[in-house]
Amino acid sequence: MHAIGVDVGGTKIAAGVVDEEGTIVRAVRRPTPAGNPTRTAEVIVEAIQTLRDESDAEVGAVGIGAAGFVDAARTTVVFAPNLAWRDEPLRERVEGVVGIPVRIENDANAAAWAEARFGAGHGARSVVVVTVGTGIGGGIIFDGRLLRGGTGMAGEIGHLRLVPGGHLCGCGQRGCWEQYASGSALVRDAREFVQTSPDRARRLLHLAGGDPAALTGQHVTVAAQEGDAAALGCFADLGEHLGAGMASLAAVLDPEVFVLAGGVSEAGKLLLKPAKDSFLRHLSPRALRPRPPKVRLSVLGNPAGIIGAADLAREG
């Protein structure tokens, strides 16, 4: 059965018809009217109807992935910081118009599901997807099922406490993982290095046009790809923290595979190598494990959100 997946972001709504092998066979894209919850729901419905009209295959279900907290029953977006949604009964709103089953998911969970089923975690039953972007998001697939938890908030792995009393996090706590191993952490550390050691950060400073505040993650990646020692040092620190957090997750969840996804993972080996080294160093109990979890890079990229939302809707 084909299903439609919708990935609702703060700036765009991307939707696609997905077949049983996880391939997007048709796709549409619309700008998100982010300040207007009712209008956003209307655009979602319009995108779904357009796809159904154009699709040769019959569509049996719709999955909608939204950036925000989704209730455990997968009917309501409790809170979506970028979409002005508060207790938005999205499933009812959309299902009432399209007339086929609709499921709502957290977007990171949907993307993780796709990566586990059809991407870098294919073939494994327990997979942790770590999405390294501005913050750290992700999702946990445990014994073949997506972990949602008691209120639907499971898998917020970016707020694993890594450094007691550490940097203040947007969530109100201190020392969260995403304060040390995200794209924002990479940029913060690189800017700090440029200011404290300008002699050793000439390449980074040059890429940022001479202004440390203008330095971006992309600049750090470019410099690291060129072999710049300062930029490689920033990636080494990031990887160290990333691997340490993954080792803590492995102690609890014992996954077969960790998948690194998100914008920062586009740095490829620059991120994978230090993260994997640190992970294996921190992993417990090393001597007793028959084999350590594998650490791989995402293979699906952005379309994972659409594919996962569709496939989860199909699962019911």
Which CB atom, from 166 or from 292, has the smaller least distance to Zn ion?
Answer: 166
Q: What is the DSSP letter of 311?
A: H
Q: How far is the CB of 67 from Zn ion (least distance, A)?
A: 16
Which CB atom, from 188 or from 294, has the smaller least distance to Zn ion?
Answer: 188
- By CB under 5 A, the residues from 169 to 198 that bind Zn ion are 169, 171, 173, 176
For position 229 contacting Zn ion by CB under 5 A, the verdict is: no
Which CB atom, from 88 or from 178, has the smaller least distance to Zn ion?
Answer: 178
Residues 142, 146: Cα–Cα separation, whole Å: 6
Which CB atom, from 176 or from 186, has the smaller least distance to Zn ion?
Answer: 176
Cα-Cα end-to-end distance for the chain: 12
Query: What are the structure tokens assigned to 187, written together?
Result: 């940029």
Which CB atom, from 157 or from 234, has the smaller least distance to Zn ion?
Answer: 157
Which CB atom, from 174 or from 273, has the smaller least distance to Zn ion?
Answer: 174
- By CB under 5 A, the residues from 140 to 169 that bind Zn ion are 159, 169
Q: How far is the CB of 266 from Zn ion (least distance, A)?
A: 24
Q: How far is the CB of 163 from Zn ion (least distance, A)?
A: 11
User: Residues 6 or more apart from 191 whose CB is under 8 A from it?
Assistant: 212, 213, 215
Residues 89, 91: Cα–Cα separation, whole Å: 6
The count of chain residues that interact with Zn ion, using the rule CB under 5 A, is: 5
Q: In the β-sheet with 69-70, what is the strand arrangement from edge to edge?
A: 69-70, 77-80, 85-88
Strands (E), the chain: 2-8, 12-18, 24-31, 59-66, 69-70, 77-80, 85-88, 102-106, 127-132, 136-142, 145-146, 257-261, 294-297
Q: What's the alpha-carbon Rg for the chain, to the nearest Å?
A: 20
User: Residues 6 or more apart from 171 whose CB is under 8 A from it?
Assistant: 159
Q: How far is the CB of 187 from Zn ion (least distance, A)?
A: 18
Q: How far is the CB of 161 from Zn ion (least distance, A)?
A: 8
- Chain residues binding Zn ion by CB under 5 A are 159, 169, 171, 173, 176
